[in-house]
Amino acid sequence: MFQSNPSKTELSQLGEFGLIRRLTSGFVLQNKETVKGIGDDAAVLRFESEKDMLVSTDMLLEGVHFDLTYMPLKHLGYKAAVVNFSDIYAMNGQPKQLFVSLACSNRFPVEALEQIYEGIAMACKAYGVDLAGGDTTSSKAGLILSLSVTGEVERGKSVLRSGAKQGDLLVVSGDLGGAYVGLQLLEREKNVFMDHPDAQPDLEGNDYILERQLKPEARMDVVEYLAEIGVVPTSMIDVSDGLSSETLHICGQSNVGCRLYEEKIPIDPTTYAMAREFNLDPTVCALSGGEDYELLFTVEQGDYEKIKGSTLLSVIGHITDVSEGVQLVDKSGGMHELTAQGWNSFPGTSA
């Protein structure tokens, strides 16, 4: 990805602190809560007393979570930041500060790391988040990114996975399955390239699903919309591991059952067509694909009138008693027990 740059600066030329200064010099603080950001022994944060602090962390490993054969470094930085912001939005909060730790081998010149931080800077600017700290070190196992994000939410308005109640409606934002199908397309073209290095990738007309995989967006707009119409979800989670896994997380932690209707699951036409091209069931892609970073949540039935006209949201099911289990209702009306088949960080164990 970065071999084409004729001017390369070895990491050893700058040293750790010189590298950090170079990578972070362009970041500007945007939040009054960030009293001191990156550049000292610790960040200084000052949150308002009537708000709760939210904290989330994530780790991304080369060869496990991303493939630099087709993942541009700037996109990697953007995506790494955004998926962390998504966790804060899934708590009904607003991300405020980001901490980025990076480990890499000497095959990465300084310019490659600058591209990653350019992507992080783009994400921070787009979502109003401050880069407040981090670390860099060497690695013998490729590129590793570890990110932590802090945020805030009005006291008493954080939304947990455990608040769903019988009778609540199950709602999801956007559409599902696009990121997974985009990944299948990238993997196909990678395999073609490995066999025929002179071949040009066949990606035309698939910008939407490629962006869903390479440059996802966190649903800040959904959280803002719900606040505007006065709806506080009873439970919420972001769709990182697939719709089936996230539905089971909510039901398990809320001790409830659910009926999820296949015909109600939102799938973009581009996703549908590409899934069929790969001989995949589009519904399975939505249920098990993951990395869509949409918001899945429950609301009380009385809030239906407030959300029914929204183009952002789809009601896809309802919460039942735990004794009824978690069921997928297919397009013919048949019921099937929903199982978690999405992303598993530890292969060989249950998802």
Per-domain boundaries in the chain: 11-154, 169-337
Question: What rounded mean pLDDT belongs to the chain?
Answer: 89
Express each pLDDT in 45-72 by its tens digit.
777 778 889 999 999 999 989 999 999 9
pLDDT at 237: 97
Residue 319 DSSP code: E
Is the pLDDT score of 4 beyond 70? no
pLDDT classification of 340: cutoffs 50, 70, 90: confident
Q: Do domains 11-154 and 169-337 have the same CATH topology?
A: no
Continuous segment of H or E residues that includes residue 100: strand 94-104
Is the pLDDT score of 325 beyond 50? yes
Q: Cα angle at 244 between 239 and 52, to 5 degrees?
A: 40
pLDDT at 48: 73
pLDDT at 147: 96
CATH architecture assigned to 169-337: Alpha-Beta Complex (3.90)
**349, 102, 43, 39 alpha-carbon torsion, rounded to 10°:** 180
- What value does the mean pLDDT take over residues 290-303? 97
Share of the chain above pLDDT 70, in %: 88
pLDDT classification of 37: cutoffs 50, 70, 90: low
CATH architecture assigned to 11-154: 2-Layer Sandwich (3.30)
- What value does the mean pLDDT take over residues 276-304? 97
Is the pLDDT score of 306 beyond 80? yes
Q: Cα angle at 203 between 198 and 204, to 5 degrees?
A: 115
pTM: 0.88
Cβ contact 108:143 at 8 Å: yes
More confident residue, 256 or 16: 256
Q: Cα angle at 220 between 218 and 225, to 5 degrees?
A: 140
CB burial of 285-315 (b: ≥16 within 10 Å; e: otherwise) equals bbbbbbbbbbbbbbbeeebeeebeebebbbb
pLDDT classification of 107: cutoffs 50, 70, 90: confident
Share of the chain above pLDDT 90, in %: 70
Question: Residue 152: what are its φ and ψ, rounded to 5°?
Answer: -140, 155
